[in-house]
Amino acid sequence: MNNIWAPWRTEYITSSKDESCILCTAPRNGDNLILIQGKLCFAIMNRFPYTTGHCMVAPYRHVGDIVEITPDEFPEIMATVKTIVTAIRSSLNPEGFNIGCNIGTVAGAGIADHLHMHIVPRWNGDTNFMPVLSDVHIISEHIESTLAKIKRHLP
């Protein structure tokens, strides 16, 4: 058996499981993984990322579908995505990105009731046998170190 070191998972495993929406409570509670707080949306590091630097942008309003986004929210969400991509590009030097929304549980949304856009930095070779065969993601850096790097490149 191989061991994979992921000490940040202990916080999740040992924490009480709150049934409230994390994307609603994070901005109100001053979550330390928040990168940007705008007027209508915010950006936050994904606590359980697919790759190093995986972030999300979400409206403050609790809406589950992109068709529910208002004409005012949409441009702010997209501008925030652009800002985060620019900061990640400057700080982590990825070779590409996956950016998008999973709308509905069947589409893979882990938080299906609160729309959010994923920003997933990608590097050549970052998909290997671990996620394909073992459903395990290898994160090369502690989330707080990545957070600090990205924050240094935000306006």
116 is annotated as an active-site residue: yes
Residue 37 within a domain: yes
Residue 8 within a domain: no
The residue ranking higher by pLDDT, 27 or 3, is 27
Could you tell me the two tokens for 38? 């705008």
Where residue 113 sits, what CATH number does that domain have?
3.30.428.10
Pairing of strands 96-100, 34-37: unpaired
User: Residue 134: what pLDDT?
Assistant: 47
User: Residue 10: what pLDDT?
Assistant: 65
Residue 12 within a domain: no
* Domain extent for 113: 20-151
Residue 2 within a domain: no
Residue 30 within a domain: yes
Among candidate residues 114, 116, 137, 142, the one labeled active-site is 116
DSSP the chain: ------TTHHHHHHS----S-HHHHHHHHT-TTEEEE-SSEEEEE-SS-SSTT-EEEEESS---SGGG--TTHHHHHHHHHHHHHHHHHHHH--SEEEEE---SGGGT-SSTTS--EEEEEE-TT---HHHHHH------S-HHHHHHHHHTT--
pLDDT at 31 over 50: yes
Q: How confident is the model at residue 132 (pLDDT cuts 50, 70, 90)?
A: very low
Residue 9 within a domain: no
User: Residue 142: what pLDDT?
Assistant: 87
User: Residue 2: what pLDDT?
Assistant: 54
Query: Residues 89-114: what's their mean pLDDT?
Result: 94
- C-alpha torsion 23→140→84→33, nearest 10: 40
Pairing of strands 55-59, 41-45: antiparallel
Portion of the chain with pLDDT greater than 90, in percent? 68
Residue 15 within a domain: no
pLDDT at 98 over 80: yes
Residue 75 within a domain: yes
Count of domains observed in the chain: 1
